[in-house]
């Protein structure tokens, strides 16, 4: 069964355990305005609560992934010093921009084209990144008189190291998908016409073979334990491991392995 919705520049489709979120604002090359940003976070949080969805792919329509914030929404800031009311909200929308990093389900970015600024942060917040050969990337902020926005000053060094992060943030230079692979920013580079199918197949494999609760806890572990001393990380992980011994996922994981069949893990969160 599949379902498709389109609102505020976001197309969302579900099928076979995978949600596919597509930036679809062709008149602005998928540039993100406040309504689109809010919708993006909302869709990911709804996917998190949908037991039928076990992984999400985020991509763009046309030749762009997301070239950043719609500059029309920022047009008056340089002269007035006042942002759009939504942009200037208490959290600046960062909870929506970083939703992929905080939801409990795995998010795979399929970067089909131009990826800059706010769109670059969205891609970095995903768990895994595939890119189309020749796709162009830039942090862009410094070339617009802006700072490293929405937590990218933390995300990017964790992905590529401090030196490369400083290079990309201070220069704002454009680089290719092939360079992004070399930097460790993306995990796969594929021909453009194979990108979405490959990312969807990867998400489908997660949906089929990886235990949903285990994936949720592993995402949480990487968020929390990265800041802990090794002994504290190990102590925390041991507690989670012991809890897992009593969860139905473990029993099904062992049973399916012994029976040489795909696992039938219970949904997460539970349907009950």
**62-86 pLDDT, tens per residue?**
999 999 988 776 665 555 454 555 5
pTM of the model: 0.91
- If you average pLDDT over residues 214-229, what whole number do you get? 93
Distance CA 136, CA 169 (A): 15
Residue identified by tokens 């594929």 is 190
| pLDDT score of 72 | 74
Q: What is the b/e burial string over 149-176, where b = at least 16 CB atoms within 10 angstroms of the residue's CB? A: bbebeebbeebbeeebbeebbeebeebe
Q: Is the pLDDT of residue 222 over 90?
A: yes
Distance CA 191, CA 205 (A): 20
User: Closest Cα partner for 37 from 140, 125, 111?
Assistant: 125
């Amino acid at each position: 069964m599949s379902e498709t919705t389109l609102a505020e520049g976001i197309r969302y489709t579900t099928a076979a355990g995978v949600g596919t979120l597509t930036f679809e604002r062709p008149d602005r090359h998928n540039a993100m305005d406040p309504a689109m940003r809010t919708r993006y976070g909302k869709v990911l949080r709804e996917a998190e609560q949908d037991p039928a969805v076990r992984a999400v792919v985020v991509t763009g329509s046309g030749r762009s992934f997301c070239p950043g914030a719609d500059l029309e929404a920022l047009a008056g800031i340089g002269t007035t010093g006042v942002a759009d009311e939504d942009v200037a909200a208490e959290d600046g929308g960062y909870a929506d921009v970083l939703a992929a990093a905080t939801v409990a389900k795995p998010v795979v970015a399929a970067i089909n084209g131009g990826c800059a600024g706010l769109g670059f942060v969205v891609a970095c917040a995903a768990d895994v990144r595939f890119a189309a050969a020749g796709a162009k990337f830039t942090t862009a902020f410094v070339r617009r008189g802006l700072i490293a926005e929405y937590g990218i000053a933390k995300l990017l060094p964790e992905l590529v190291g401090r030196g490369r992060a400083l290079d990309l943030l201070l220069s704002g230079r454009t680089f290719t998908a092939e360079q992004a692979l070399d930097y460790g920013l993306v995990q796969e580079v594929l021909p453009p016409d194979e990108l979405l199918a490959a990312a969807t197949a990867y998400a489908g494999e997660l949906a089929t073979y990886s235990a949903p609760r285990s994936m949720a806890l592993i995402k949480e572990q990487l968020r929390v334990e990265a800041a802990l001393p090794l002994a504290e990380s190990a102590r925390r992980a041991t507690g989670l491991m012991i809890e897992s011994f009593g969860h139905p996922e473990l029993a099904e994981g062992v049973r399916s392995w012994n029976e040489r069949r795909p696992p039938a893990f219970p949904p997460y969160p539970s349907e009950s």
